[in-house]
Amino acid sequence: MNLEDYRSVFLVGGLVLSLAVAFPGLSLVVPVPEGERFSELWLLGPERMAEGYPFTVRAEEMQGPFYVGVRNHMGSSQAYLVYAKFRNRTQPLPNITASEASPLPPLYEARFFLADGETWEAPVSFTIKDLRFEGNRSVVAGTSINDQVFPVVLSSRWDSEREGFYYQLFFELWLYQEKMQAFMFHNRFVGIWLNMTTV
């Protein structure tokens, strides 16, 4: 290496060192891109694993507990709302492409605050309280979630391909929006399918 090559190495090294020393001060002037802000929503089975969910359900038989959880990655404290909803296969789920919640009425709700990085998890048990069969359809006229009874009137036609009467219990995540002064659907939902073929 000649003298000119050494000079280039020292110049580049000095520049890198001065940038490393100046970086904390530069971050006050030049904005550093932040990571993605999001919230997690999950539904776990009785062993807190993604398995063991109830499927074939009988009337008056308690199912669960399984676990609904939320984790805050929004960069600040947030107020959350989780709705439990119940539907048959023909009723609408949330549309996350259009940021629209399901129009179905909620049966159960949980409200809570989470600091950034904090997790909330709650056990959920449910029971179908009133189930009857009328020809090729089943009718659910009541359910309970965590021992709170909710009247519902939902029917499902026999699905000959899958051999059952299918319903879905699902959970939507809502986030409090300061600008709107209201909770808004946060584009997250999870659910489990239930087959009610016996009383």
Residue 197 has pLDDT above 90, yes or no: no
Query: pLDDT tens across 58-89, in order?
Result: 999 999 999 999 999 999 999 999 999 999 99
Q: In the chain, pLDDT over 90 holds for what percent of residues?
A: 72
CB 126 within 8 A of CB 141: no
User: What's the pLDDT at 131?
Assistant: 93
54 vs 121, more confident: 121
179 vs 1, more confident: 179
> Could you tell me which residues come within 8 angstroms of residue 197 by beta carbon, excluding any fewer than 6 positions away?
56, 138, 163, 164, 165
Tell me the Cα Rg of the chain. 26
Mean pLDDT over the full length of the chain: 87
Residue 13 has pLDDT above 70, yes or no: no
Instruction: Flag whether the pTM goes above 0.85.
Output: no
Q: Which of 18-22, 151-155, 177-181 has the lowest mean pLDDT?
A: 18-22
User: What's the pLDDT at 162?
Assistant: 85
User: What's the pLDDT at 32?
Assistant: 45
Q: Which of 1-10, 29-38, 84-93, 144-153 has the lowest mean pLDDT?
A: 1-10
Task: Report the run of H or E that residue 42 belongs to, with start and end.
Answer: strand 38-44
User: What's the pLDDT at 10?
Assistant: 58
CB 191 within 8 A of CB 44: no
Mean predicted confidence (pLDDT) in 110-128: 96
d(C-alpha 195, C-alpha 190), whole Å: 17
d(C-alpha 152, C-alpha 140), whole Å: 7
User: What's the pLDDT at 26?
Assistant: 45
User: What's the pLDDT at 23?
Assistant: 53
CB 40 within 8 A of CB 73: yes
Mean predicted confidence (pLDDT) in 35-47: 93
d(C-alpha 192, C-alpha 182), whole Å: 28
Please count the CA atoms within 13 angstroms of the CA of 134 that sit on its side-chain side: 7
User: What's the pLDDT at 62?
Assistant: 92
| Distance in Å from the first CA to the final CA of the chain | 88
d(C-alpha 65, C-alpha 59), whole Å: 16
d(C-alpha 142, C-alpha 112), whole Å: 27
Q: Which two tokens stand for residue 56?
A: 């074939």
Eight-class DSSP state of 59: B
Mean predicted confidence (pLDDT) in 100-122: 97
> Domain spans of the chain?
1-33, 38-195
User: What's the pLDDT at 36?
Assistant: 86
> Which CATH architecture group holds 38-195?
Sandwich (2.60)
Tokens 């519902």 correspond to: 152
